[in-house]
Amino acid sequence: MAGTLVEKSRKRDLRFGLMLTAPSVIIILMLLGYPMGYAIFMSFHQWNDKLGADHQFIGLNNYGQLITDPAVWAAMERTAYFSVITVVGGVALAVIIAILLNRKFRGRTLARVLLLVPWAVPPVVNGIMWKLIFDGSVGIVNTILRSLGLIKENIQWLADPTAAMNILIFAETWKLLPFLCLLMLAALQGIPESIYRAAAIDGADAWNTFWRITLPNIRGPLMFALIVQSMWSLKVFDTIYVLSGGSGGPVSGTTTINFLDYITTFSNLDRGYGSAMAVGIMLLVLIVSAFWIFVFGGFSRKRREANG
């Protein structure tokens, strides 16, 4: 009898919970589900506004074009270069800064406050700021280098594809680093000090302390940071648009796959092919997220086997 009452109570609580979450789920489906579904629908059609309003069904032709398009592969190479540095390098740098800020030192509160400054800068303003800093005529970088005698003539930083991409990486890392640092700092503060004291008594060095204590205890937030940073790296747009003047240049040097999708859809007006590219980017995000989950899941299993 008691078991039946408990079961009824659980079902009632479940129905009540579903009733509370239903409005939010419906709104999310309307705001996200419909556009995504419509993009998938468009991707199966020849939806090019330059060719008129006759949107013919062409099946998987747009997806086949994605596989053979040299521009897509070139954009994917630039995206891979950009993503690896901003994701792995950015998160690693965030962990190092968070460890330093987690220590007690004079001015720690001020340092934590100053860390938030880049995060408060809007993406477009961030792009404008770095564009002015590296401007070939009036940029402060050229001014400093000339004053130090390192260069005699101004360098057109944003006119070189490699330099422009590296500036983009620096600007995006500078902008997103505070969020990652705060995330890692919050994770570090959740580790009891007694564990570190016990490790110090046992004679553990800095590397073993990090590898055996710090890293396992921040595994969850670290995985979240890598997933979120990977998503941001694949969808970067604002900074590219501002730095390149909307062209993705020079010589497509900063045209990542997401920016190529923008050019295809809104400049070339090939909405069918652009929708197929958007679906491909969405699948890429899911694959990268699954990769990080798999990596950290395997790491967790190895740790449990080692301790068990």
Q: Is the dihedral of CA 212, 216, 222, 226 positive or negative?
A: positive
Provide the CB-side half-sphere exposure for 262 (13 A, CA). 16
- Residue spans of the domains in the chain: they are 58-302
Query: What's at 203, amino acid-wise?
Result: G
Residue pLDDT tens, the chain, 308 long: 555 666 777 878 788 778 888 888 888 888 888 888 899 999 999 988 887 778 889 999 999 999 999 999 999 999 999 999 999 999 999 999 999 998 888 888 888 888 888 888 888 999 999 999 999 888 999 999 999 988 888 999 999 999 999 999 999 999 999 999 999 999 998 888 888 888 888 888 888 888 888 888 899 899 999 999 999 999 899 999 999 888 888 888 999 999 999 999 999 899 999 999 999 999 999 999 999 988 887 655 555 555 55
Nearest alpha-carbon partner for 94 in 58, 118, 70:
118
DSSP 128-160: HHHHHHT-TTT-HHHHHHHHTTS-SS---GGGS
Asked if 169 and 86 touch (Cβ cutoff 8 Å), the reply is yes
What does residue 122 show for φ and ψ, rounded to 5 degrees?
A: -60, 150
CATH class of 58-302: mainly alpha
Give the number of other Cβ atoms within 10 Å of residue 141's Cβ. Answer: 17
Asked if 157 and 143 touch (Cβ cutoff 8 Å), the reply is no
List the beta bridge partners of residue 57. Answer: 45
> 212: burial class by Cβ within 10 Å (0-12, 13-18, 19+)?
middle
